[in-house]
Amino acid sequence: MSDSPGGLDFSTVIASTVHDMKNSLAMLTRAHAQWQSQLPPEQQQASEQGVIEYEFARLNGMLVQLLGLYKLGVNQLPMRPGYHEVEDFLQAQLARHFEVLQSRQISARCEVESFDLMGFFDEELLGSVVANIITNSIRYAHSALLIRAWEEGGKLVLAICDDGQGYPQEMLSQQSNYVLGLKHSTGSTGLGLYFAGRIAELHERHGVHGHIELANGAPLGGGVFRIYLP
Amino acid sequence: MLEYGSKRILIVDDFTDFRSSLKSMLRDMGARDVDTADRGEEALSMCRNKRYDIILHDYNLGGGKNGQQVLEELIAGKLISHQCIFVMVTAESSQAMVLSALEHEPDAYLTKPFNRASLDQRLDKLVERKTALKGILQGLDKQDPAAVLEACKTLSQQDKRYLPLCQRYQATALRELGRLDELEQLLNGVLAERPLPWAQVALAGLMHKRGELSRAQSLYEKGLQLFPMMPALYDGLAAVLLAQGESQRAQQALEDAVKLAPLAIRRQMQLGKLALDNQDFDSAGKAYRQAMEQGRTSKFKSPENYLGLAQAITAQAGDGSLDKRLQIEVSQALGELDKIYAHDPNVQVRSRLALASSLNKSGEPKRAAQLAADAAAAMEKLPQLFAADTALSVASQLRALGQTAASDALLKSCVEVYGDDPQVMQGVARQTDNAEILSSGKEAVELNRQGVRCYQQKQFDEALRLFRQAFALQPKNISIALNTAQSLLQSASGEASAALLEECRRCLAVVSQMPETDARHARYLQLQRRASGQ
């Protein structure tokens, strides 16, 4: 992993820089929120606010993901699985994006097979995956976002669906090779999916690992991201 | 949205801006009674005066106690009800904190920055959950494990969402009730479904308690393969290794745990002791320094950390002389110790001896001798006995400082009090070959052993006769006195003979000076309650 002659491990440099960037971004976000609250009401709703909030969330998501990938690389990503109420988990993810959804006039909701559906997963890791996918869907959605959850063949399935243009065809046909998306430089999608795939894989039961799937179409006609957890 | 108007809420954060923005969010949600604090110490004192329903506590307050310490003290001091909602607010990923907080977990973590919608959603959910769990939480508040079990049974049948939580409460209740077979069955059932960290730790701990050490060890090792970042598993592994006499590997396991979670004073203290026993004085010094540092803001501070640090530094000098800078560190640590424990004469004696031992190595033998003489004189009128291992280490210090008579006297009393413990006798034998000391308690110990055998075979009259004989020979021995007392209570229970109870109380009075850290202290208190008719 050592890329520089001085014996300095480049990935460690990146990781500690990302850490600082995250703190810096948190300060920025807070200062901005404070400043915004002091503005007269008519200016608080300016369309730039939506852009700023969305990009703050996107940047934060990318940094969290980058740190996660680093920890995966050095095998230091702690797994702490537990039982969670799926509906509660998904509502919490949507709540995090409340302002952005509102300013972009996207109606978001979640549909859970039964109110008492339980899942077994690492809440924080899966939370960062779902948050990234939601952020991505918000970018492409026209007006609607739907998260569904159900059980299928002993696995919990979460599907994040939008009414946008859907995933490009080459991504659907080469799902096993997410890193390919990086080369085509279609935004951060490739890396995001790679991260999601790795987190899904970390979830294991009796030798069966989790995985992700991409599709287009129903129920909203746009992109559908599914994560399967054993 | 639920009703927050009647909730008593406390916000603890060191940033004024954050406190006011959180407060205004809560007010928007209808909350009226919102207090704020900027330090953990302040939060604790506020909780002493007011029962809060919801506490939002920042983890890292930049100084003083952190959120986890405050939570532990709130629970240990019963300053909050189990029905209180405690949310830990964190600046970044909570994983590391979560892993360290297995014993006392907050009800939820909330990562900054969060919006009003997230706060709403989280609090609504927690209120709903606490309401559903009410029966269980009331049982916990009343310390009634049987009621907890009953409530768990009802709730987990009503709503399967609460089954995982109920199982965890059930496990704790079964352990408290000593229903270990049922506990094992429950844990095996939970783990057959999914590898849950808490259940893994609990099952391994149960095996250790049952003396199945190799099974316990393999359970901890398996747990660590699954959850390599969980300090509690290293703690447990260390304890099992130590019980098997593998003190080097035990130390390594604790070092791993400390790397993952350095903010754990009791773990640092344990590591210091283990390293000291392993004669790894450098590691011992490091661990005790950490424990001492953290102890300044913690209720878990202990004189052992100051004394351990002094001992580690002094021992590290070996036969050579002690560096000036290190002598200053020892003197400062012991000075601080004297101040904190000014009311505890046992600690004062040990502090003086520790200082004398170090001064002896830094070219001040005269002052050392004076301090040692002072300590020897003070020892004659101590209100409480030393614990066995402390007594042995004090005796060895006295001997090294030339106070041979005081050392012999202490060893003699050690044999009188703890002579039935072979490990203690080995420790005494390492320091002296004086037959008068070593053989003084033999006959009484043998009578006591026979008495125990008779008692187990329900030959109560014969047991009492043997215990009485042993007690007459060695009236200071804690085991003999407790056995005699118990045997007297057993005989007195028939026709409630007042004379027997009186004799029992006399036996117990003899051991009233036993150290509170002694494993038998709880038994002593229980016997005392029974003897006084409570």
- Interval B433-472: pLDDT, tens: 887 788 777 888 888 989 999 888 888 888 888 998 898 8
Q: Is residue B82 part of a domain?
A: yes
The CATH number of residue B36's host domain is: 3.40.50.2300
Among B476, B480, B422, residue whose Cα is nearest residue B451: B480
- Match 């709503």 to its residue by tokens: B159
Q: Given an 8 Å threshold on Cβ–Cβ distance, is B160 in contact with A116?
A: yes
Rounded to whole angstroms, the Cα distance separating B530 from B521 reads: 14
- Interval B250-288: pLDDT, tens: 999 999 888 887 777 888 999 999 999 899 999 999 999
Q: How far is A98 from chain B (nearest CA, A)?
A: 7
What's the total number of domains in chain B?
2
Rounded to whole angstroms, the Cα distance separating B501 from B507 reads: 10
Backbone torsions φ then ψ of B190, nearest 5 degrees = -60, -45
Q: Is residue B205 part of a domain?
A: no
Rounded to the nearest integer, the mean pLDDT of chain B is: 88
Size of chain B, expressed as the number of residues it contains: 534
Rounded to whole angstroms, the Cα distance separating B112 from B114 reads: 5
Rounded to whole angstroms, the Cα distance separating B4 from B26 reads: 8
Residues A102 and A197 in one domain: yes
Q: Does residue A22 come out as left (phi exceeding 0), alpha (psi in the -120 to 50 range) or beta?
A: alpha
Q: How far is CA B211 from the centre of its chain?
A: 20
pLDDT at A3 exceeding the cut of 60: no
Tokens of B87: 């949310």
Q: Which of A27, A37, A44, A83 is the best mutation test for B, with the most CBs of B within 10 A? A: A83
Residues A67 and A94 in one domain: no
Tokens of A19: 């850490």
pLDDT at A8 exceeding the cut of 90: no
Q: Given an 8 Å threshold on Cβ–Cβ distance, is B230 in contact with A78?
A: yes
Residues A22 and A102 in one domain: no
User: Residue B122 sits in which domain range?
Assistant: 8-132
Of A80, A85, A96, the CB nearest to B227: A80
Residues A110 and A218 in one domain: yes
Among B4, B3, B39, residue whose Cα is nearest residue B23: B4
Q: Does A38 touch chain B (CB under 8 A)?
A: no
Residues A90 and A37 in one domain: no
User: Residue A45 sits in which domain range?
Assistant: 10-73
Between residues B120 and B514, the one the model is more confident about: B120
Kindly indicate the confidence band of residue A185, based on its pLDDT and cuts at 50, 70 and 90.
very low
Model confidence pTM above 0.90: no
- Interval A79-101: pLDDT, tens: 788 999 999 999 999 998 898 88
A7's CB contacts (< 8 A; 6+ apart) are: none
Residues A26 and A46 in one domain: yes
Residues A145 and A179 in one domain: yes
Q: How far is CA B523 from the centre of its chain?
A: 18
Q: What is the mean pLDDT of residues A9-26?
A: 82
Q: Given an 8 Å threshold on Cβ–Cβ distance, is A76 in contact with B229?
A: yes
Rounded to whole angstroms, the Cα distance separating A139 from A51 reads: 11
Structural domain ending residue among the three candidates A32, A49, A73:
A73
Residues A44 and A125 in one domain: no
Q: Is residue A62 part of a domain?
A: yes
Residues A127 and A35 in one domain: no
In our burial notation (b when 16+ CB lie closer than 10 A, e otherwise), range B441-472 reads beebbebbebbbebbeeeeeeebbbbbbbbbe
- Interval B208-242: pLDDT, tens: 999 999 999 999 999 998 888 888 899 999 999 99
Provide long-range contacts, Cβ within 8 A and 24+ apart, for B272-278.
Answer: B272/B305, B272/B308, B272/B309, B272/B312, B273/B304, B273/B308, B274/B238, B274/B242, B274/B247, B274/B250, B275/B251, B275/B312, B276/B308, B276/B311, B276/B312, B276/B315, B277/B247, B278/B247, B278/B248, B278/B251
Residues A120 and A205 in one domain: yes
Chain A CB contacts of B113 below 8 Å: 26, 29-30, 33
